[in-house]
Structure 1
Amino acid sequence: MNFELTEEQKAIQHTIRDFAQQEIAPRLMEWDENKQFPVELVPKMGELGILGIIFPEEYGGAGMGYIEYALIVEEISAVDPSMGLTVAAHNSLGTNHIYSFGSEEQRRKFLPPLTTGKTLAAWALTEPGGGSDAYSLKTTARRKGDHWILNGSKTFITNANYADYCVVMARTNPGEGKAGISAFVVEKGTPGYTIGAPMNKLGMRASDTAELFFEDCPVPAANMLGKEGEGYFNALSILDGGRISIAAMCVGIARGAFEHAIRYAQERAVFGKKIYQYQAIKIKLADMATQIDAARLLVMRAAAMKDAGRDVNMESAMAKL
């Protein structure tokens, strides 16, 4: 078992760390205070391969794995979790659902602009009446000729206002239970598809989050992802990869806080000594470092298993905890 990163992985880590410090850190307080999504960062992240890190080069991606992806999300989140969340929702959820369950024609159509940073992806499962309880969703899709007509709403959708493509789960056959849910790519500008104002949040306010509304919204039948009735089960599979990225984001947040704590301990003096010189503070910092490293190891284990094609349902959930 090798715990060392490869030279390429270390280079990626350093590149993203520099990017976060140079492009995000100087303005992150401004963006957060103004609840402003920094759309100008999207093409820059696309150029670095951040928005297509886990997808094959033939679709415009970087052709790398979940270990590299987790490293990227951690580095960005250590500076600004708003951007870490943006990257995670785009890669793990919206874009990955298209890649994992879309047809070859759908991949060729939707993936290149997503993996290269020309636009973002959103993923819409959560509804006002149910978040983690995905099975309770009320949004419906009714077949009408060569279209499906969507009606309903979604809430707390990351990247909502800036995504040209949103993967939406809807109930296509109410009488079939879990097998009655399907997934669709809804394109921005489709009649009957409206996006609410950015939601007011306690934190990560530079991440775009909004409600979605569907009122007799016609979606081409060709935009259904996978087979009819597979949406619920496919969504659960997608969430496994999503948990890895959210866990990496949390490690980044913790590491960023730890680095601030270290700097403060080195600057603050009481009774003639810097506070890091006191045993009580050393113990606190040691505990923090140990817990962060343990959390990172859980993330890396789940990422390595994902790259090996193994089931990570339990491991990704443990990492996220």
Structure 2
Amino acid sequence: MTDTDHVSTHQSQEDARNEDILIYVNGALKPKAEALVSVYDSGFMLGDGVWEGLRLYDGRWAFTEEHFDRLFEAALAIDLDIGMTREQLFSALEKTRLANDMYTDAHARLMVTRGVKTRPFQHPSLSRQGPTIAIIMEHSKPSIPRPIRLATVPHQRGLPMTQDPKLNSHSKLNCILACIAAEKAGADEALMLDVHGFVNTTNACNFFIVRKGEVWTSTGDYCMNGITRRKVIQVCKQAGIPVFERNYSLVDTYGADEAFLTGTFGAQTPVGSIDGRQIGAGQMGPMTERIRGLYKELIAAETAK
């Protein structure tokens, strides 16, 4: 086995500084070994919570307003009181950043659960001590040595009336099972279809294809509406690149000129093959490279504000 036999969309360079990071847990900054939550915590016990991933560029968190909008909207949707204002939560994020002396190439995972339960059962009224808020922040520079290999799996994201895929929920078991199925098929990650059989998303990222100069992604009805996804659509429109949120099938996908993934961590990650079929030249294509450049310009403008 070589280092490139398996690749993850969240693969990063090893950084020894991450052994000494301080983690925010309910107002306190603690070393890794001491950053603990109770086994009675709703997040551990039931996956009852929501989270956001944020990326640090040149001293600024990119698209903080959008990330906080989504976090507070998700908390409202699951009737979870975060117990902090947006300003207080941002102060906690900055407190953690400064304590870890981080300026760029850092990734934060901000997690909010319903908190510690009085008894080990499901009912939310058993969570009486207030939410648990944790922020893990690591030095993190993407290091993905080759384009990602995807495999189509039978697993789907939830329907809006079951577990709405627009929620960044702590409960990710269906995505984990999709990833396991893809790995067993010899791929890196899973390509998931929607309930109608149209191409939807991967287990960890949003998915785009390029066909004859056009950029396509799913309708967004059955996937996490990623902020990077939204920004890619935005930069394409601003640059005059035809971009469509639409239904399309695996037939369309196999015949694509390029394919790429989007997410806060990796921004735009090229896809080399799907179900053993090479996509385009099997490498990052010119449209993906152009969009990556446009996105970097957007980030530069964001962090210059």
Task: Report the TM-score, using the length of structure 1 for normalisation.
Answer: 0.25
Quick check: which has more Rg, 1 or 2?
1
Of Structure 1 and Structure 2, the greater helix share is in 1
Task: Report the TM-score, using the length of structure 2 for normalisation.
Answer: 0.26
